[in-house]
Structure 1
Amino acid sequence: MAPADPRTPANDVWLPIPADEIGGLPDGFDYVHWDAGPEFPADPARCAFYVVPYMKDPQVCIRPLTEMTGLRAVQSLTAGVEHLLPALHQLPPGARLCNARGLHDASTAELALTLTLASLRGIPDFVRGQDEGRWLAGFRPALADKTVVIVGYGSIGSAIEDRLTPFECARVARIARTARETVRGPVLPLAELPAVLPAADVVIITTPLTDATRGLVGSDFLARMKDGALLVNVARGAVVNTEALLTELESGRLRAALDVTDPEPLPAGHPLWHAPGVLVTPHVGGPSSAFLPRAKRLVRDQLTRFASGDPLSNVVATAG
Structure 2
Amino acid sequence: MNGSRRPRAALAMARDAAKAVLGPDALAALGRVCDLVPDTVLDDFTTERARAVLRDVEVLVTGWGCPPLDAAALAAAPRLRAVVHTAGSVRGHITPECWGRGIEVSSAAAANALPVAEYTVAMILLSGKQVIERAREFKAVRRRDEWLGLSHGVGNYGRTVGVLSASMIGRRVIELLRPYDLRVLLHDPYVTAEDAHTLGVRPVGIGELFASSDVVSVHTPLLAATRGMVGRELIAAMRHHAVLINTARGAVLDQDALTEAARAGRVRAILDVTDPEVLPPEHPLWECDNVMITPHLAGSQGNEWGRLADLAVSELDRWAAGDGFAHAVRRERLAYLA
TM-score normalized with structure 1 length? 0.80
Instruction: Work out which of the residue numbers 166, 169, 190 in structure 2 matches 1:178.
Output: 190
Deviation at 1:178, TM superposition (A): 0.7
Deviation at 1:187, TM superposition (A): 6.5
In 2 relative to 1, CA 27–117 (structure 1 residues): closer, same or farther, beyond 3 Å? closer
In 2 relative to 1, CA 186–63 (structure 1 residues): closer, same or farther, beyond 3 Å? closer
Counterpart CA distance in 2 for 1:174 and 1:124 is 26
- Residue type of the partner of 1:94? G
Measured on the aligned residues, the alpha-carbon RMSD in Å equals: 3.2
Counterpart CA distance in 2 for 1:217 and 1:306 is 40
Q: Secondary structure at the residue paired with 2:169?
A: helix
Question: 2:235: which partner in 1?
Answer: 222
Question: 1:76: which partner in 2?
Answer: 85
Counterpart CA distance in 1 for 2:329 and 2:293 is 32
Instruction: Work out which of the residue numbers 29, 41, 49 in structure 2 matches 1:34.
Output: 41
Q: 1:239-292 CA distances to partner (integer Å, 9 max, x unpaired)?
A: 112112112112211111111111112332222211341111111111345523
- Residue type of the partner of 2:198? V
Deviation at 1:36, TM superposition (A): 4.9
Instruction: Work out which of the residue numbers 2, 10, 13 in structure 1 matches 2:10.
Output: 13
Question: 1:317: which partner in 2?
Answer: 331
- Residue type of the partner of 2:190? T
Does residue 98 of the first structure (1) align with residue 112 of the second (2)?
no
Does residue 48 of the first structure (1) align with residue 58 of the second (2)?
yes
Counterpart CA distance in 1 for 2:323 and 2:24 is 21
Q: Is the contact between residue 165 and residue 188 of structure 2 (CA under 8 Å) also seen in structure 1?
A: yes
Q: Is the contact between residue 126 and residue 136 of structure 1 (CA under 8 Å) also seen in structure 2?
A: no
In 2 relative to 1, CA 167–78 (structure 1 residues): closer, same or farther, beyond 3 Å? same
Counterpart CA distance in 2 for 1:179 and 1:46 is 43
Q: 1:74-96 CA distances to partner (integer Å, 9 max, x unpaired)?
A: 333333344345x4447872224
Does residue 299 of the first structure (1) align with residue 312 of the second (2)?
yes
Q: Is the contact between residue 255 and residue 277 of structure 1 (CA under 8 Å) also seen in structure 2?
A: yes
Does residue 62 of the first structure (1) align with residue 67 of the second (2)?
yes
Q: Is the contact between residue 11 and residue 47 of structure 1 (CA under 8 Å) also seen in structure 2?
A: yes
Counterpart CA distance in 2 for 1:257 and 1:27 is 42
Counterpart CA distance in 1 for 2:115 and 2:303 is 6
Aligned-pair identity (%):
27
Q: Is the contact between residue 82 and residue 209 of structure 1 (CA under 8 Å) also seen in structure 2?
A: no
Counterpart CA distance in 2 for 1:37 and 1:125 is 47
Structure 2 gap ranges (5+): 1-6, 13-17
In 2 relative to 1, CA 195–120 (structure 1 residues): closer, same or farther, beyond 3 Å? closer
Structure 1 gap ranges (5+): 1-9, 55-59
- Residue type of the partner of 1:108? V
TM-score normalized with structure 2 length? 0.76
Q: Residues 212-291 of structure 1 correspond to what in structure 2 (within 5 A)?
A: 212-289=225-302, 291=304
Does residue 116 of the first structure (1) align with residue 116 of the second (2)?
no
Counterpart CA distance in 2 for 1:214 and 1:275 is 24
Deviation at 1:231, TM superposition (A): 0.5
- Residue type of the partner of 2:171? S
In 2 relative to 1, CA 119–269 (structure 1 residues): closer, same or farther, beyond 3 Å? farther
Counterpart CA distance in 2 for 1:134 and 1:124 is 15
In 2 relative to 1, CA 186–112 (structure 1 residues): closer, same or farther, beyond 3 Å? closer
